[in-house]
Amino acid sequence: MTTQSILLLLLFLAVLLALSWPLGILMVRVADGRPVPGFGWLAGVERLLYRAAGVPLDQEKQGMGWKAYAIALLVFNTVGAVFTYAIQRVQAWLPLNPQNMGNVSPDSSFNTTVSFVANTNWQGYGGEQTMSYLTQMLGMTCQNFFSAATGIAVAFALIRGFSSRSAKSIGNFWVDMTRSTLYVLLPLSVIFAVFLTGQGVIQNMSAYKEVSLLDPVTYTVPKTGADGQPVLDAKGQAVTEEQTATTQTLAMGPVASQEAIKLLGTNGGGFFNANSAHPYENPTALSNFFEMIAIFVIPAALCFTFGQMVGDRRQGWAVLGAMTLLFVVAACAVMSAEQQIHPALQAMGVDQGSSALQAGGNMEGKETRFGISATTLFAAVTTAASCGAVNAMHDSFTPLGGMVPMLLMQLGEVVFGGVGSGLYGMLVFAILAVFIAGLMIGRTPEYLGKKIQSYEMKMSSIVILVTPTLVLLGTALSVMLDVGKAGVANPGAHGFSEILYAFSSAANNNGSAFAGLSANTPYYNVMLAIAMWFGRFAVIVPVLAIAGSLAGKQRLQANSGTMPTHGPMFIGLLAGIVVLVGVLNYVPSLALGPVVEHLQMYMK
């Protein structure tokens, strides 16, 4: 690691802590239903929405059991999925389509719908070449808000499960969704969108611009006949001709508004195909830094919310400590891997050292305006947080550098994780940690005064095993079937890594990709959509079941035999359990992909 990388990481963590602490305290008010300072004018809007939805205004009558909460959540997201699918299928006949984009194909619409509803934002299409402005705003951006609010709602429900005493309710889904959107996501998105616009991110409804190039570009293309087929010479070779480009088409659109919630909601779906590597999405080093902060700020803040709501701030610090420990190790690993020299280039005498004139290391697929340090930190942040936004091509990372983002996803997206989902995922691992510790010392495991019994462990096991099952089964099928292998552009270990990365990203609701895999096919659109849907909702339902079970239990007082869950020992245990589960599930597949590819670099 370079000094620049170390300083950037330290500055990032310091700014993150400074911003997430007050946000976490504010979110306690959001969860508890209390007035939020400075937003009293929104209370009328909130009450109006409740009346329209038939939600009682009296908080005592708003409570839902976990089953009612889960049903409301599933119905809401299913209806949203139907609407998002429909708007893509008819966008050619709808307004705000200055480029006359055609209707999206059924399989791509299905994949995109599930992707955005599941907070994954996997994109098998190029946004500026596929989606109209109306589809981007009404379909993609709205789902960015709704999917993020869904994650926050589930986190609130699980926290109430720990903090409640013999309660039948874990809250009200409609209230949690409304308050999370009105008081957290919307205000932060407006502020951040204004900041991004000031940095140079575009926000308009204009048609695409045709601009003249300063230097015309001449290139060679195959010559075609009147029938549109290539013209061949006497030897059967394609005849080529030179063409000169004097203009370039610049895509326009309402980018800043989508970019803000894409990052704050850990969604990740870019307006442009190049995502946050595109200068209209991420133009400066400052915008890049605060885009990383935006990805982590709500997941980090929820740790403080958790500690405050359960009545022991140390518990929130412990969860945040475990997340930070795992993140720092991963960030240092990917930074170091990408700064290393390539043995093949070294043998050719190529200077790959870092100096005042060059970044050194592996700059393939990276933007020179960011360099290796900011690019690799962004990669660690976006894959730790289930965001999936990228400012570089992960497919161009070194084998070990690309393995780190993949492993961060495979750990279950609990290293900060998605908005809401990172916290409830880590709390499930905390339940597993105290259960294992209880077995070691011969005591009934307890966490925050709640006994962890067989029901909680069964539900926790489902949560932990769902995503590895989806990832490994999907990868195995894809490398066995011809339709799966057809999308691989790089055969061998790297091709296997591309497939493994795709299913790891989909099932863990990340959305980033090793872009060498051609995934916009009916097979991958359907398979990845299945992985995304069940990777999201087959995890959420058992988490809500855990919340309901814990809410109904008495909260026991700590005694001399209670295992402390706020100190360094528990932080180490929790981090160790997360890594252990990830290693046990994925070591064989990682050995077949990035590890083999790394070893091949040193073979003559």
Question: How much of the chain, in percent, has pLDDT values that exceed 90?
Answer: 74
CA distance 416 to 414: 5
Lowest mean pLDDT: which of 198-207, 464-473, 540-549, 578-587? 578-587
Lowest mean pLDDT: which of 32-41, 80-89, 182-191, 570-579? 32-41
Contact 144, 257 (CB under 8 A): no
Lowest mean pLDDT: which of 183-192, 234-243, 253-262? 234-243
Q: Which two tokens stand for residue 408?
A: 């961060």
558-594 burial, b at 16+ Cβ within 10 Å, e below that, comes to eeeeebebbeeebbebbbebbeebbeebbeebbebbb
* Contacting residues for 230 by C-beta, under 8 A, at least 6 apart: 222, 223, 224, 238, 239
Q: Reduce the DSSP state of residue 250 to 3 states and report it.
A: strand
pLDDT at 225: 79
CA distance 192 to 291: 9
Q: Reduce the DSSP state of residue 520 to 3 states and report it.
A: coil
- Which residue is it, tokens 């480009």? 245
Q: For residues 509 and 602, which has the higher predicted lDDT (pLDDT)?
A: 509
Average pLDDT estimate for 575-587? 89
CA distance 406 to 417: 13
In Å, what is the CA distance from 100 to each residue of 90, 131, 174, 255? 12, 10, 37, 18
Q: Is the pLDDT of residue 559 over 90?
A: no
Give which of 383, 381, 376, 428 is closest to 410, Cα–Cα.
Answer: 383
Q: Which two tokens stand for residue 453?
A: 């019994």
Average pLDDT estimate for 93-119? 95
pLDDT for 478-506, tens place per residue?
A: 999 999 998 888 888 999 999 999 999 99
Q: Is the pLDDT of residue 252 over 90?
A: yes
Contact 484, 523 (CB under 8 A): yes
Write the DSSP symbol of residue 557: P
pLDDT band at 582 (very low <50, low <70, confident <90, very high): confident
Sign of CA dihedral 261, 263, 268, 272: positive
Give which of 258, 253, 134, 127 is closest to 190, Cα–Cα.
Answer: 258
Contact 369, 285 (CB under 8 A): yes
Contact 383, 392 (CB under 8 A): no
- In a 13 Å sphere around the CA of 567, the CA atoms on its Cβ side amount to 4
Write the burial class of residue 300 (CB in 10 Å: 0-12 exposed, 13-18 middle, 19+ buried): buried
- Which residue is it, tokens 């989909």? 506
Q: Is the pLDDT of residue 228 over 80?
A: no
Task: Report CA dihedral (499, 502, 503, 504) to the nearest 10 degrees.
Answer: 110
pLDDT at 604: 59
CA distance 78 to 94: 23
Write the DSSP symbol of residue 203: B
Write the burial class of residue 296 (CB in 10 Å: 0-12 exposed, 13-18 middle, 19+ buried): buried
pLDDT band at 63 (very low <50, low <70, confident <90, very high): confident
Q: Is the pLDDT of residue 95 over 70?
A: yes
pLDDT at 62: 80
Write the DSSP symbol of residue 517: B
Average pLDDT estimate for 580-586? 86
Please report which helix (H) or strand (E) contains residue 245, including its range: strand 240-250
Average pLDDT estimate for 80-99? 95
pLDDT for 4-13, tens place per residue?
A: 899 999 999 9
pLDDT band at 398 (very low <50, low <70, confident <90, very high): very high
pLDDT at 231: 83
Average pLDDT estimate for 182-206? 96
In Å, what is the CA distance from 566 to each residue of 297, 315, 447, 562, 572? 22, 5, 11, 12, 11
CA distance 441 to 454: 17
In Å, what is the CA distance from 182 to each residue of 103, 300, 358, 466? 32, 20, 46, 32
User: Quick one: angle between helices 173-180 and 66-89, nearest 10?
Assistant: 60
Average pLDDT estimate for 132-137? 95
The C-alpha angle with vertex 114 and arms to 110 and 119, in degrees rounded to 5, equals 150
Residue 304 Ramachandran class (φ > 0 left, ψ -120 to 50 alpha, else beta)? alpha
CA distance 414 to 409: 8
Write the DSSP symbol of residue 39: -
Residue 59's identity, in one-letter code, is: Q
Give which of 440, 447, 582 is closest to 508, Cα–Cα.
Answer: 582
Q: Is the pLDDT of residue 350 over 90?
A: no
pLDDT band at 360 (very low <50, low <70, confident <90, very high): confident
